[in-house]
A and B are shown apart, each in its own frame.
Chain A
Amino acid sequence: MKPLFLLFLLLSSLSSEAYDRKKAAAYLRTLVTQNKIDLTDINSKFDFNGEEILAVEFDDVISENLDSIYKDLNQTRKRQYTQDYLVLRYYQLFSRNKKDNVVLSENIDRIMKLSELPFSGKTIASDLNCPPEQSYPKLNSLFNEIRKVADATFCTPLEVGTGKTFVRLSEKKNQNNYTAKSPDLTTGNYHLKRTSTQQYEATLGIRLSSGKGTKVSSQEMINRIKACINEANPFITGPKGENLKINILTPEEIKSLPVNERPAVNNISIVSPGYRANSQEYPEDISCSVITHEVFHQFGLCDEYQETDPTLQGDFSCRVITSSPSVMRDEGLHRDIIPKSLSCPCDTKICQFFMNSKYENIKKMILTEDIYQVSTKVFIEQWCKEESVTTHQLDKFPKDNDKSTYIISTEGRSLISKRYAPTEADANGVYYVGEYKMTCQCPDGNSECLRTRENVIKSIQNLSVSSYCPFINDSNKDKQTISSSLSPHPTSIKNGVLTFYRPPKIKSFLQPKQFAKILEGNCPGGESEKYTLCSQFAYKSKGSPECKVPNYCFDDSSFLGVAK
C-alpha cells in the first residue's frame, strides 16, 4: 500500500510540474533581482514557458528573500502573510519527500520568529485601540507622571475665548502604523473652542478618499457630511442648555486656521453602497442619521448597540448596551430629533376620504405615532401578538379618541394596548376605524425585553406627531418627501399631497455625559470619567480578562448621565 501511495504522489507531482523546476527557480531569482515580481504578495505568479506559476511554491527562493519580505510588511500584513504561508505551504510537509521538506520546514520556523509570535492578544488589542496598559509597567508609570502634569493644565475647563486641541491616543503613539477601523475610545482629533458661556465650537478635519469603483466624489461626500452636521448642530446640546457647533473642514480648510487651532485630520474612505459604515469608511449611500453617529465616534464616543453580526457578537460581547435614547445605540434617533416637514402622497381613496373628512380626532390620530413607531421591530416580533377586535362606525367613534394607541394594562411583565387604524372601504364604500389589541409579554429575566417594554410604555403615554407618511406602501413611498424644517407650519392637503410638520421629540443628540466627554476628552476627574471607563468595554470580548464591567455602567444615569 505504501509504495503505491508514493508512486501516486510521484506521478501526481510529475503531472503538476511539467516545467523544469530549477530553470524556473533561476528565472524567478532574475525577476526578484530586477524587481519585476512582488514576493510580499503571496499570490504573486510569474509566467514561465507559457505556464503561470505561484512564486511562493519555490521554497529556496522564498528562503533567500524571507527577511526582506518581512522587513517590507507592516504588522497587520506580516500576520496575514504568516497565515497565508502556512495555509498554502504547511500541508506540503506531509506530502513531499524529505529533501524538499528541509527548506520548507526551515522557512516555517523562521516565519514563526519573524511574525513575532506567540500571540498575546496584544496585536488585536492594538487594532481595536485598546492599548495594553499592563505593558512596560515602569515606563508606563513614568509616562503617567509626566502625563499628570501635562493633563493638569490641559484638563482645566475652557474659559470663554480659549480653546484646546485633542489628539487621539493612537495618533500620538504611532502615527505611521495606525490601521484600526473601530472608533478610538480615548478621544478624537479635534479642536474645541468656547466662544461664549453657553456656546462651544468643535473643528473636525476630514480627508476623504474614494475606494475602488466608487461613484460619489470626495467633494460630494464632504458636502453631504457638512450638510448633515449643519442640520444636526442646533440639537447638539448639553444638560445646561450649552450648544456645541461642529465645523467639518477639509485638510485645505484646516491649513487656513491659526497653527494652534489645527487638529489632526481624520481619514475616511468612500466605499461601495450597501457596505456597513464605520467611522473610517462611509458607503456612497450613507444617510444623515448614520453620518451623525459616525462623526460622534471621531469625538471619542463609543457604540452602545448590541452587535448583530454573529461573528462579532463574541468580539464585542463585553459592550455595555444602553436603553435610554442615544444616537450611539440607535441611529434612528435622528428621526426623533431633527424637526421635519413631511410631504406625503394622498391620492388614494382612503387617504382622500379620511383627510378631507369632518372627523378631526381621526385625522389627528392618523398623524400620530402608534405602538409600531415607538417600539422596536424585535420587541413586537418577538414578544407581542396583535389581534383584530372590532371595527367602529365613524359617527359612533368617541370624539375624544385622538390617539392611535392606548395602554390597557401593564401588569407584571406584560403590556396590553389597543390600537386604532382606519380601514379600507367595504363593498358598500363605507369606511371604519379598526380596533386591534396587542398583547406583549416579556419572558422572566429577559432584561432587553423588559427595558424596551418600559420605554414603550413611556412613549405611549407621550405620543408625538408621526414621523411617517400615513397610508404609505412600497409603491407610493418614493413620492414622499421628508425634509428638515426649523419652522413649524400647519397641516394641509392640496392636489393630492398631504403636508404636515413634525416637531423635535427629543431635544439633544447627546446625553449629558456624552456631551461632557466631547468637552473633556480623556481628562480624568471630570463629568465624563465614568463614561470613559464604561466605554472602554465596547470593543472587548466577554471572555477577555479585561472585561470587568463595573455595575454602575449598567445604569444609564451613571454611564450617560440620564436623569433618574
Chain B
Amino acid sequence: MKLILALLMLSSVNAVTITQMQSSSEASSTQKFEVTQKSMVYEKRSNLFDLSQDFRLGEFVNKEKGPRLTYRKRLEEMKKKIRLADTVLKKNGGGFNDLSGNSPHDVFFALDGYRVSSDSAVFEELRSIFNDLLKENWKHQKGVRLDLESKKVIRVDKEKEEDRREFVYLHFCNNNSTPAICYFKDSGYLFLK
C-alpha cells in the first residue's frame, strides 16, 4: 500500500502525457499533449484528422496555469485508476496493456505508457479530455507552417520565424493522393485538403 501511495505521489512530480494515435490508408497521425507543472506542450505530427484547416506542425506551448492544473488533475485521476488495475494484473503475470485491444489500425490513446483502446470503458472520457485540450490556446513554438497562400514553407523555432523557403509542391508532396500528402523533416505530414 505504501509503495502504491509513493508511486502516486511520484507521478504528480513528473509530466503526464496523453497521445492519440490514428491512421489512414496512407499515414498515421500522432498528436501528443504533455502536461507538466510549468507548462503544457502539444506535439502535432499531422493535420490528417483536423476538424478545421490548420497547416501547422511541430510543437505548441500553453503556459496558462488554470487549465493546466485542471487537465493535470483529470489525467492523473485517470492514470491512478489504470495504474492500480495494472498493479493487480501484473500480479497475475500480465499488465493493463496485455488486455488492451491490439488491432493494428484502430484509434487509441496512450496515457503515458498505458494503451487505452477504443473498446475501453474510459476511452470516451480520455477523448473528451483530448478534445478539450485541442481547444486551448496554443502558441507555435517549433516546427513548420505554410503561409496563407500555401506558397512558402516557414520554419519556426522558439516561437519565431527561422526561415522561409519555396513550397516546391512536387518535392514535398505526394501528388497522386487526395488529399495530397506533404512531408516535412522532423515535423511530420501535412495533408492538403
Contacts and interface: CB of A to CB of B under 8 A. Distances in A.
Co-complex (A, B):
yes
A82 B120 CA distance: 10
Nearest to B177: A287
Given A377-B183, A378-B183, A468-B175, A112 B92 contact: yes
Contacts of A473: 169
Interface in B2-53: 4, 21-28, 30, 48-49
A5 interface: no
Given A310-B21, A332-B176, A84 B120 contact: yes
B24 A83 contact: no
Nearest to B103: A181
B139 interface: no
In the complex, which of the residues A274, A287, A310 has the most CB atoms of chain B within 10 Å of its own CB atom? A274
A124 B102 contact: yes
In the complex, which of the residues B30, B82, B94, B110 has the most CB atoms of chain A within 10 Å of its own CB atom? B94
Contacts of B115: 311
Contacts of A378: 183
In the complex, which of the residues B93, B103, B173 has the most CB atoms of chain A within 10 Å of its own CB atom? B103
Contacts of A86: 84-85, 88-89, 96
A108 B94 contact: no
Contact of A381 (B21, B93, B102, B183): B183
A90 B21 contact: no
Contact of B100 (A83, A281, A316): A83
B121 interface: yes
Contact of B49 (A94, A274, A287, A539): A274
B147 interface: no
B192 interface: yes
B92 A287 contact: no
Contacts of A124: 98, 102
Contacts of A76: 101
B93 A119 contact: yes
A330 B175 CA distance: 16
Contact of B192 (A276, A315, A332, A474): A474
Contacts of B148: none
A80 B24 contact: no
Contacts of A381: 183-185
In the complex, which of the residues B25, B26, B115 has the most CB atoms of chain A within 10 Å of its own CB atom? B25
Contact of B178 (A90, A285, A472): A285
B99 A181 contact: no
B175 A382 contact: no
A32 interface: no
B104 interface: yes
A88 B174 CA distance: 45
A293 B176 CA distance: 16
Interface residues of A, number: 61
Interface string A461-479: 0000001110011100100
A182 B184 CA distance: 29
Contacts of B172: 377
Contact of B84 (A43, A83, A94): A94
Nearest to A117: B92
Contacts of B28: 276, 308-310
Nearest to B82: A87
B120 A80 contact: yes
Contacts of B160: none
Interface string A520-551: 00000000000000000001000000000000
B80 interface: yes
A42 B85 contact: no
A87 B21 contact: no
Interface in A423-464: none
Contacts of A422: none
B180 A274 contact: no
Given A87-B81, A118-B94, A275 B120 contact: no
B94 A117 contact: yes
A80 B25 contact: no
Contacts of B49: 274
Contact of A276 (B4, B23, B169, B174): B23
B123 to A, nearest CB: 10
A275 B105 contact: yes
Given A83-B85, A83-B89, 18 more contacts: A76-B101, A82-B99, A86-B85, A90-B81, A91-B81, A91-B85, A117-B93, A118-B92, A127-B102, A182-B104, A276-B22, A276-B28, A283-B25, A287-B177, A378-B183, A382-B185, A472-B175, A482-B176
26 contacts: A43-B121, A77-B119, A80-B120, A83-B85, A86-B84, A88-B122, A90-B85, A117-B94, A119-B93, A119-B95, A181-B104, A275-B24, A276-B25, A285-B25, A287-B25, A290-B26, A311-B21, A315-B102, A332-B176, A335-B176, A377-B174, A381-B183, A381-B184, A468-B170, A474-B180, A539-B104
Per CB-CB distance, the 8 closest pairs between chain A and chain B, nearest first, are A118-B93, A276-B23, A119-B94, A86-B85, A84-B121, A83-B99, A381-B185, A277-B25
Interface of B: 1, 4, 21-28, 30, 48-49, 80-82, 84-85, 88-89, 92-96, 98-106, 108, 110, 115, 117, 119-122, 150, 169-178, 180, 183-185, 192
Interface of A: 42-43, 76-77, 79-80, 82-84, 86-88, 90-91, 94, 108, 112, 117-120, 124, 127-128, 181-182, 274-278, 281, 283, 285-287, 290, 308-312, 315-316, 332, 335, 372, 377-378, 380-382, 467-469, 472-474, 477, 482, 539
